[in-house]
Structure 1
Amino acid sequence: MSTPESCVVAGRLAELGHTNLYDLLKQASHVYGDKTAFSCGADSVSFTELRDKSDSFARYLRHELGLQPGDRLAIQLPNLLQYVVTIFGALKAGLVIVNTNPQYTVPETRHQFTDSGARAVVVLDKLVPLVRAVQGETAIERLIVTSVDDWSNPQVASDEADVTRFMAALTKGKALPEVDPQRGLEDLAVLQYTGGTTGVSKGAMLTHNNLLCNVLQAVSILSPGELEYGNEVRVSPLPLYHIFAFTANCLASVFTGFNSVLITNPRDLDNMIADLQRHRITLLTGINSLFVSLMAHPQFDSIDFSQVKWVNSGGAPLNLAVAKRWYERTGSVIREGFGMTETSPVVIAATATTPYKEGYIGQAIIDTQLKIVDDAGNELPTGEPGELLVRGPQVMKGYWQRPEATAETFTADGWLKTGDIGVIDEDGFLKLVDRKKDMILVSGFNVYPNDIEDAVMRHPGIRECVAVGIPDERKGEAIKLYVSLHDQNLTEADIVAHCREQLTGYKVPSFVEIRDDLPKSTVGKLLRRVLRDEARAEVAEVSA
């Protein structure tokens, strides 16, 4: 076991007097005032402006829409200034945030809205048809619609009775009475959905305490004098609807007074490079696939990295060769971390003061306990591989409306089972060596094979299928799909096209292999591990 149990974070929270997440912005507006909180393209918002606009939005949500503390508000937006106003407005109103991927398909959106019971959604204008396609099967009563350019070119008119334009909501809310969050530390703040081994996406219940603690845990790794609160510029290309960016680039950045430069579309590398050239970058949060793409861009070497103090990699494993190339090109070291949706998410982090160990991620952050156990739950000696278990104040309350899944994920004495196979050395450094679960990690997103297989099997021409993850330098892992067919005329391209209709882009298989039959056990169970091992061996042979 690493890191003795303590209450450092609880003591720090008591000193700050924070009782809910909105207190982060409330304090930051007093401390940092007119300093820039978030930038997006040519637009920006100060901490004071962010507080005022969030307050107006909270008033609109409570008084105009009639949403009450504890009601769920779905948010389906990319990285925009409207997103951060929505987040803190919802928190001020005492609502529960349901972060929803804007790339979701109809089935994925339907499930998340239905399962969460969200009563309203803040959504990008071009996604309104998606919401309309599922609305009748959900509790969604009202749509608050925004455009990418709303900040500089506000749209206020709508001819649909259940639709309000985002900027109009801010104007209306400004004239309404003040509201109180009416939420405490143990109340639910966010339903953050994650994949399930059964293919059913589950809402991790993250409380105000979980997320506040993780913010304080995350900033605790900063060395004294290394970074200056209120005077750093952090480029944030990872989507804020993803738990890593939500906590690190949104909540923690507000706490530290950093200017977060939001990248709305990180796939548009030309515009992202322009943002990197325009700003005095001191911090960058990315992911393995993003680092690869940036270094391949012809303008990459024109970026000034001389003032960069910290580069974070989270959400997916960092490829060692990529990290070395990055250092050679920029002179900045990428520091890796590890976490899960269920842990708010940060569990492990490398810091400037801890020694570098090749192949190891880092050590547990404060107030976080780790242990490695065998299949029977017995703790293993130092250096032996087994399942990683985690305990700490950032660990979720459980899965939304799924007591059985919650019970399966926790031990009787409150340890969270991660499903990852790891090794902890004598200094408390963690190395991940495999997964107990079949989860595939694609560019930082959890993808569960059954989720893909369920979608694939909706095609009547497919008899059986198995999805596995294979190593990929850019994405971390790529998805390979093995299928056998009823309809022998189906092609690999046909299958991929079907997947694109059913699944978010990052869940679509990169490779499809059609076989006459798929391997099975003596009782007829498809042998995913056999195919996964075979696929990985083929990749290793090609790479050798």
Structure 2
Amino acid sequence: MQINPQKPWLKNYLAGVPHEIDLGSHSSIVELLEESLRKYPDRIAIVSMGHAMSYCQLDMLSQDFAAYLQTLGLDAGARIAIMFPNVPQYFIAMLGTLRAGFVVVNVNPLYTARELEHQLRDSGASVLVILENFAHVYQEIADQLLVKKVIVSSVGEVLGPKGVIINLIARHIKKLVPQWRFPCIKFNQALKIGLGHGFTKQKLGLDDIAFLQYTGGTTGVSKGAVLLHRNILANIIQIECWLEPALQHRHQQQLVFLCALPMTHIFALTACGLLGMRKGAKLILVANPRDISGFIKLLMKYPDINIFPGVNTLFHALIHRPEFKAVQLPNLLVTIGGGMAVLKKTADLWQKMMGVPIAQGYGLSETSPVVCVNTPFVKEFTGSIGMPVPSTDVLILDDEGVEVPFGSPGEICIKGPQVMAGYWNRLEETEQFFTPEGYFKSGDIGIMSADGYVHIVDRKKDMIVVAGFKVFPNEIEEVISMMPGVSECAVIGLPHRKLGEIVRAYIVKDNPELTEAQVIQYCKEQMSSYKRPRKITFIDEMPKSNVGKILRRHLRD
């Protein structure tokens, strides 16, 4: 394989951005974050539903949570599954888990029981920490005793006196908490036990596992990307260095990060939550960004927002609401677009309304996630995903693993300290996704210009991206094929103006009475909303290869 040693993007780095990062000053993510907890004790760390929590309070509560976990007699490296939307309990549990020396398994709170069961089984999680709004999902699989302990929290549990009112509204007025019943311990009770027990500080190293971040990769089965403390630490520092030119004049002022994307998603976790804590920022949490009206009211309440990470669907939803015209964010420094492709029409409208362009970036769960990003001083939306961040090498390779010329499409392959250690308990699959030289094969097709800017062209596999979430046809096909009346099923992605893509299912039925409505209802019971097919097409016969493999490309054509 030919390797271009020049790294042409380096000559375009902004002044002050290093070509390489240094991890020598910290031994773990915990050490990095505890530095902020000590440095900014009186600063507001988190604002949630109008309630503020200081860095000092976050420090103490996360220690209490860590101490509680240490009372459970868990094995070294035990996995703790956390299933929260953006509420303070997520940060308490996540930070507490890391401080206790255990591994965080982020769980999408929108998961169905089937999806949750797979992740708990695959990760071997010992503990599940879940919001009561989603406890009914676990209820469906509770009798399987998948975990040793379940910790259940309510929305308002750590929000002081105001939390009592919030819980009352959530449970009895808005009816947001379906009935559930299984043995558990309440979140505040766990904190109280931890406080009485006392926290024992753990010795952690760069090669200890920090997160299992579940992703479909490109083969369909949801897999846990093993992210070491080294990987996440590197990506925090890489993004910090990249943004420093835009932030250098604000060191004495507290930055304000908008946390609208779910923290269980790797983009939000690293580029918003962890980076924000590293900078001693105030994190404005949005528990339900799909409530666009409520979201806009929140934006009007916090005009001092500096950093706004988002995805195309979120930007699109905001700018097409008439009331968004009244939103003023005069201190907005950077709008970062990730998770899915940002559409030019959306980006241009955003810049026209907010006065700040969207700096598009690119990454994967397997890369902690940021690989490439545009500079924070980009003047307008370019369609490019920018340049590789410091200490990162990107090659565009053909199917034989040979580097292609500038301007030619090939698979984006990545090497850097943010690249995962591998897939959890999947050695063979891990080996398939790395070149002999140690580059991670992303499965995405891209083009690199002569000056080092990268553009995404297409996806190598059949993956579908709905509103920034990866959807894998194999999983959907397997679920639908289990439905009575379905003989065969194939799934493809269709372009969609708002969501980027939607799922379309082609079905050969063996029950002539089967209807589209029945299939949609079945999918609603089995899958998260973003995975469900929006279009159902019944056909008489699937196009297949001579070995019987269904040819999705024929369906797309």
Instruction: With the length of structure 1 as denominator, give the TM-score of the two structures.
Output: 0.93
Q: Which range moves more in the overlay, 460-469 or 126-135? A: 126-135
1:340 to 360, 364, 378: 364
| Structure 1: gaps spanning 5 or more residues | 535-544
Q: Secondary structure at the match of 2:57?
A: helix
Alignment correspondent of 1:274:
297
Q: Secondary structure at the match of 1:220?
A: helix
**Partners of 2:146 and 2:405 in 1: CA distance:** 50
Alignment correspondent of 1:469:
493
List aligned pairs for 1:279-428, cutoff 5 A: 279=302, 280-353=304-377, 358-428=382-452
Q: Secondary structure at the match of 1:12?
A: coil
**RMSD of aligned alpha carbons:** 2.2
C-alpha distance after superposition, 1:472-521 (max 9, x if no partner): 22112111111121112222221111111111111001212222222222
**Partners of 1:200 and 1:168 in 2: CA distance:** 36
List aligned pairs for 1:97-496, cutoff 5 A: 97-137=104-144, 139-152=146-159, 153=161, 162-224=183-245, 226=247, 228-229=250-251, 231-279=254-302, 280-353=304-377, 358-496=382-520
Does the Cα contact within 8 Å between 2:9 and 2:388 map onto a contact in 1?
no
Q: Secondary structure at the match of 1:511?
A: strand
Is the counterpart of residue 530 in structure 1 residue 534 in structure 2?
A: no
Change in CA separation of 1:10 and 1:326 when aligned onto 2, cut-off 3 Å: closer
Does the Cα contact within 8 Å between 2:8 and 2:451 map onto a contact in 1?
no
C-alpha distance after superposition, 1:252-271 (max 9, x if no partner): 11001111111000111122
Amino acid at match of 1:172: I
C-alpha distance after superposition, 1:282-321 (max 9, x if no partner): 2211110111111122310111122211111111110011
Q: What percent identity do the matched residue pairs reach?
A: 38
Q: Which range moves more in the overlay, 260-269 or 303-312? A: 303-312
**Partners of 1:115 and 1:171 in 2: CA distance:** 31
Q: Which range moves more in the overlay, 29-38 or 270-279? A: 29-38
1:69 to 41, 52, 76: 76
1:12 to 22, 37, 41: 22
**Partners of 1:4 and 1:98 in 2: CA distance:** 37
Alignment correspondent of 1:541:
none
Does the Cα contact within 8 Å between 2:258 and 2:307 map onto a contact in 1?
yes
Is the counterpart of residue 25 in structure 1 residue 33 in structure 2?
A: yes
C-alpha distance after superposition, 1:230-286 (max 9, x if no partner): 512111110000011011111111001111111000111122111101112222111
Change in CA separation of 1:44 and 1:24 when aligned onto 2, cut-off 3 Å: farther
Q: Secondary structure at the match of 1:83?
A: helix
| Structure 2: gaps spanning 5 or more residues | 11-16, 168-179
The aligned length equals 528
Amino acid at match of 2:256: V
C-alpha distance after superposition, 1:54-81 (max 9, x if no partner): 1111111102x22343100000111100
Alignment correspondent of 1:539:
none
Change in CA separation of 1:517 and 1:248 when aligned onto 2, cut-off 3 Å: same
Instruction: With the length of structure 2 as denominator, give the TM-score of the two structures.
Output: 0.90
Alignment correspondent of 2:57:
49
Amino acid at match of 1:47: Y
Q: Secondary structure at the match of 1:351?
A: coil
Amino acid at match of 2:196: A
Change in CA separation of 1:262 and 1:91 when aligned onto 2, cut-off 3 Å: same
Amino acid at match of 1:3: K
**Partners of 2:21 and 2:442 in 1: CA distance:** 27
Does the Cα contact within 8 Å between 2:508 and 2:538 map onto a contact in 1?
yes
Q: Secondary structure at the match of 2:543?
A: coil
Amino acid at match of 2:282: N
**Partners of 1:296 and 1:30 in 2: CA distance:** 42
Change in CA separation of 1:178 and 1:395 when aligned onto 2, cut-off 3 Å: same
Q: Secondary structure at the match of 2:197?
A: coil
**Partners of 1:329 and 1:357 in 2: CA distance:** 14
Q: Which range moves more in the overlay, 337-346 or 466-475? A: 466-475
Change in CA separation of 1:464 and 1:161 when aligned onto 2, cut-off 3 Å: closer
Amino acid at match of 1:120: V
C-alpha distance after superposition, 1:185-240 (max 9, x if no partner): 00111001001444311000000000000000111111435362451211111000
Change in CA separation of 1:11 and 1:376 when aligned onto 2, cut-off 3 Å: closer
2:532 to 475, 496, 508: 508
**Partners of 2:107 and 2:382 in 1: CA distance:** 36
Q: Which range moves more in the overlay, 19-28 or 110-119? A: 19-28
Q: Secondary structure at the match of 2:454?
A: strand
Change in CA separation of 1:346 and 1:138 when aligned onto 2, cut-off 3 Å: farther
Does the Cα contact within 8 Å between 1:315 and 1:445 map onto a contact in 2?
yes
Superposition deviation, residue 134 in structure 1: 2.2
**Partners of 1:253 and 1:5 in 2: CA distance:** 26
Change in CA separation of 1:225 and 1:341 when aligned onto 2, cut-off 3 Å: closer
C-alpha distance after superposition, 1:439-486 (max 9, x if no partner): 111111111110111111011211222111122221121111111211
Amino acid at match of 2:205: G
Is the counterpart of residue 84 in structure 1 residue 105 in structure 2?
A: no
Change in CA separation of 1:426 and 1:237 when aligned onto 2, cut-off 3 Å: same
Does the Cα contact within 8 Å between 1:117 and 1:138 map onto a contact in 2?
no
